[in-house]
Amino acid sequence: MGTSGNVYFYSTREVSDPKRRVADLLEYFAVSIIGRASINHDMSHSWERRHDTPEIEVIRGGAVLYRSGRESEHLGYKVPKEQLLSLLPHRSGVLDLGLHVTDKTAHVSEAIFRHFPPDFYVNGSLASAGIRMGWHDLWDEDPKGDGRDVYIARVSMLVGLHGPGYPMDFERAREIIAGVPEVREFKKELEEICGPLEIWADWSC
């Protein structure tokens, strides 16, 4: 079974004008075609759905669980940007976009791997980009191999870097990633669009 890595830049604050933020992010990444697009109407990105405890209505920090009986809506592959943006005012839920590799994310990924020691990361890349817009939960999936997930935050939006591989030491990898100048600059540029962001990295099978 393969292992993949994620570096998330996320917000826990309400996002003003989400459609405008999505449009600005797509422009920032110079993306005209979205590789994959869907909207989650159900609880597929919720901590409660993950742990099969739908009776829980409030999670750590007082965040409220939003409920719906609908499932995810697949908007398509290779969706033109203007077509996607025209749909957004008529949809609700968590927008999930896969952008694949962009010039900016390839640049950041290459910088990260230049800072890793030799033989520290197996089969690595973190160059594929993703965007989620809408309230959902972020957690680390079974980080210690004991079957327990670790809750991180309820987030209003995130930008993620994704790719195959894993480091020899997760905590050390997080420290290195957070200290890479290109990562800090990338985060700063995203914050000009989205406001203050936090960073998290994790790896899962």
Q: What is the pTM of this model?
A: 0.84
Mean pLDDT, rounded, of the chain: 82
What is the rounded distance in angstroms from the CA atom of residue 164 to the CA atom of residue 128?
10
Residues whose CB is less than 8 angstroms from the CB of residue 100 and which lie 6 or more positions away in sequence, other chains included: 35, 128, 129
| Cα–Cα distance measured from residue 28 to residue 35, given in angstroms and rounded to the nearest whole number | 16
Is the confidence at residue 187, as pLDDT, over 90?
yes
Q: What is the mean pLDDT of residues 55-66?
A: 36
Q: Are 6 and 199 in contact (CB under 8 A)?
A: no
CA distance 64 to 47: 11
Q: Helix (H, G, I), strand (E, B), or coil: what is residue 176? A: helix
106/125 Cα distance (integer angstroms): 9
Q: Given 3-state DSSP classes, what are the helix, strand and coil percentages for the chain, each rounded to the nearest 5?
A: 30, 35, 30
At 8, is the pLDDT very low, low, confident or very high (cuts 50, 70, 90)? very high
Rounded Cα distance between 126 and 118, Å, is: 17
pLDDT at 152: 84
DSSP annotation of 99 reads E
Q: How confident is the model at residue 40 (pLDDT cuts 50, 70, 90)?
A: confident
pLDDT digits (tens, 9 = 90+) for 145-181: 665 677 888 899 999 999 998 898 989 999 999 999 9
Which residue ranges make up each domain of the chain? 4-153
Task: Calculate the CA 162 to chain-centre distance.
Answer: 8
pLDDT digits (tens, 9 = 90+) for 89-126: 666 788 999 998 999 999 999 999 999 998 898 878 89
Name the DSSP letter for residue 88.
G
What confidence score (pLDDT) does residue 145 get? 62
- The whole-angstrom separation of Cα 106 and Cα 102 is 6
- Burial of residue 52, with CB atoms counted within 10 A of its CB: 0-12 exposed, 13-18 middle, 19 or more buried: exposed
Residues 6, 33: Cα–Cα separation, whole Å: 22
Distance CA 39, CA 72 (A): 6
Q: Sorting pLDDT into bands at 50, 70 and 90, what band is 54?
A: very low
